[in-house]
């Protein structure tokens, strides 16, 4: 199957069950809301090394937030609800509560499961903290030198999907990077998804395991152009000079698939030889998101 001149391989992206939360960060200005969001989502590219995957979902206008101030919606993914709760407390405590004028709210109102976040962070108030009920939600008021930090007592957690991916195979770095940038922009427009890696693009895609026992993952040698003549197996033809990956996490499998579909259509064209996806033969992940099925839907 082709999109324009780009071949789309008949394969699937192997994705995984995860747990996720949506966090609404608000502030007095768009700038401070985004500053807090960028800080909170830093160093959260992969559960392999960061214990969570986190990214910015979208900016929010004042009429879309609980306190009618400018905001940013961010999504956090981890391997369990407990992991989500721990990472939320760490990241909100260090990167949102510390940021001037911010407040922080649960963004999954209908979730069946909740984890304590404000209930944990309230102790920073050293006994001066107070709770209130605002529009049916319990909120903690934590005194800080600038005023008060407001945060929901608990945050919703839901089942989610992590590790959807596209591998973009191009003739050279310039054309492949251009295709990946266009694809990432298109994929970010899909609600309920994030692209957790820097700029949404991965240069160092990995495979499970390593010849070094201490490493859980190592370079995906089958897709490294410089190893085409020396790796045990290569997936690259002679015309491929660069491979870039886009990883997508989402609150729903359908959202991950739609982001991948949009990405494929956006990336295809002159200079991009092939689009494929990373999988492990279906032996590790719980989801198989098939590329041809996405294009036919």
Q: Output the domain CATH number for residue 232.
A: 3.30.70.520
pLDDT digits (tens, 9 = 90+) for 246-296: 999 999 999 999 999 999 999 999 889 999 999 988 888 999 999 999 999
| 290 and 191 housed in the same domain | yes
Domain-terminating residue out of 103, 127, 158: 158
131-145 exposure pattern, b = at least 16 Cβ within 10 A, e = fewer: eeeeeeeebbbbeee
Phi and psi based region of residue 200 (left: phi greater than 0; alpha: psi -120 to 50; beta: remaining): left
Domain-terminating residue out of 133, 158, 183: 158
pTM for the model: 0.95
Instruction: Record the tokens describing residue 287, joined without a space.
Output: 């989801």
Arithmetic mean of pLDDT, 30-47: 98
pLDDT score of 28: 98
| 192 and 171 housed in the same domain | yes
56/196 Cα distance (integer angstroms): 8
**Which DSSP string corresponds to 111-172?**
-SEEEESHHHHGGGGTT--EEEEETTEEEEEEEETTEEEEEESEEEEEEEEEEEEEEEEESS
Structural domain including 100 reads 18-158
Domain-terminating residue out of 137, 158, 179: 158
DSSP-assigned beta bridge partners for residue 105: 24
| 30 and 69 housed in the same domain | yes
139/82 Cα distance (integer angstroms): 21
Between 183 and 208, name the one with better pLDDT: 183
Arithmetic mean of pLDDT, 87-110: 97
What is the domain count for the chain?
2
pLDDT score of 94: 98
Q: What separation in angstroms does the CA of 160 have from each of 164, 253, 267, 270?
A: 11, 7, 25, 35
- Is residue 23 pLDDT above 90, yes or no? yes
Q: Smallest Cα–Cα separation from 166: which of 280, 8, 293?
A: 8
pLDDT score of 283: 85
pLDDT digits (tens, 9 = 90+) for 45-88: 999 999 999 999 999 999 999 999 999 999 999 999 999 999 99
Arithmetic mean of pLDDT, 143-152: 98
pLDDT digits (tens, 9 = 90+) for 124-145: 999 999 999 988 889 999 999 9
| 102 and 10 housed in the same domain | no
SS3 8: strand
| 152 and 243 housed in the same domain | no
pLDDT score of 119: 97
pLDDT digits (tens, 9 = 90+) for 211-260: 999 999 999 999 999 999 899 899 999 999 999 999 999 999 999 999 99
220/233 Cα distance (integer angstroms): 10
**Which DSSP string corresponds to 245-271?**
EEEEEESSHHHHHHHHHHHHHHH-STT
| 79 and 176 housed in the same domain | no
- Interhelix angle 173-188/253-267, rounded to 10 degrees, is 140
pLDDT digits (tens, 9 = 90+) for 160-201: 999 999 999 999 999 999 999 999 999 999 999 999 999 999
């Amino acid at each position: 199957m082709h999109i324009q001149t780009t071949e789309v391989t008949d394969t699937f992206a192997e994705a995984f069950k995860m747990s996720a939360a949506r966090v609404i960060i608000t502030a007095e200005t768009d700038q401070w809301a985004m500053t807090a969001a960028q800080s909170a989502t830093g160093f959260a590219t992969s559960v392999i090394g960061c214990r969570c995957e986190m990214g910015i979902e979208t900016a929010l206008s004042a009429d879309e937030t609980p306190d009618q101030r400018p905001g940013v919606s961010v999504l956090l993914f981890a391997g369990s609800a407990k992991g989500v709760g721990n990472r939320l407390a760490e990241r909100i405590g260090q990167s949102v509560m510390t940021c001037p004028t911010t407040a922080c709210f649960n963004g999954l109102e209908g979730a069946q499961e909740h984890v304590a976040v404000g209930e944990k962070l309230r102790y920073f108030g050293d006994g001066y903290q107070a709770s209130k009920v605002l529009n049916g939600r319990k909120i903690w008021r934590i005194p800080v030198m600038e005023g008060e930090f407001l945060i929901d007592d608990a945050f919703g957690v839901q089942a989610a999907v992590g590790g959807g991916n596209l591998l973009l195979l191009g003739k050279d770095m310039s054309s492949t990077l251009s295709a990946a940038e266009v694809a990432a922009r298109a994929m970010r427009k899909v609600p309920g998804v994030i692209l957790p890696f820097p700029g949404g693009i991965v240069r160092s895609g990995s495979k499970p395991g390593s010849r070094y026992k201490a490493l859980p993952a190592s370079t995906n040698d089958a897709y490294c152009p410089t190893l085409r003549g020396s790796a045990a197996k290569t997936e690259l033809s002679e015309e491929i000079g660069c491979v870039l990956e886009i990883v997508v996490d989402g609150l729903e499998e359908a959202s991950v698939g739609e982001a991948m579909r949009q990405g494929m259509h956006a990336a295809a064209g002159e200079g991009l030889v092939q689009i494929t996806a990373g999988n492990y033969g279906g032996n590790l992940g719980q989801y198989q998101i098939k590329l041809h099925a996405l294009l036919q839907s």
